[in-house]
Amino acid sequence: MLKATVSLSRKLSQDYNSTGFTVSLDGEIPFPPSDHEGVLEKVSELFDLAEEALNREIEESRDREIDPPSSKTSPSIPTNNESSNGHANPARRTEPLSMNRPDYNSPNGKADQATPKQLQFLETMARRNKLTDQQLELRIKEVIGRPCTIHQLTKKEAGKVIDSLNAVKG
């Protein structure tokens, strides 16, 4: 039995601070080494899964920055223009972020479309679960609450559908 380890990492910088995100996955490859196509497909799926997990972690991190846990904060926590030492911090944002902020990387204010890797992974999972296109669209409607094809999904919706198909597998 072959075993594969995939790792992805990304570093994001903002206001002279950077945050690193890393995900590593180990998986068994149920194909013999002579089945090049099967091995490559499984490794590709592991990378797709790792990329999806990494993107979710980044998105959740951004959501935590936008939606702080509670407005009942301790007075020692700096607010608005104040740094932890009580001095002015001009680089900090002085106005609150809008709570109805659109998804990141979406210049038109609409939610980002699902990535090609998400769509490819959904199609692979649908094939594995022996779902027809109509059955997949019904599953999508059950999961996200509206009828659509996989090509009309947003990143978040595609993630929910992937999770639901993974639950069927497990």
pLDDT tens digit sequence for 85-95: 444 444 443 43
pLDDT tens digit sequence for 12-53: 887 667 788 899 989 899 889 999 998 999 999 999 999 998
The span from the CA of 127 to the CA of 163, in Å, is 15
pLDDT tens digit sequence for 150-170: 899 998 899 899 888 887 754
Report which DSSP code applies to 31.
Answer: S
pLDDT tens digit sequence for 96-151: 433 333 444 444 456 788 888 888 888 888 888 899 989 999 999 999 999 999 89
The span from the CA of 39 to the CA of 30, in Å, is 8
The span from the CA of 24 to the CA of 11, in Å, is 15
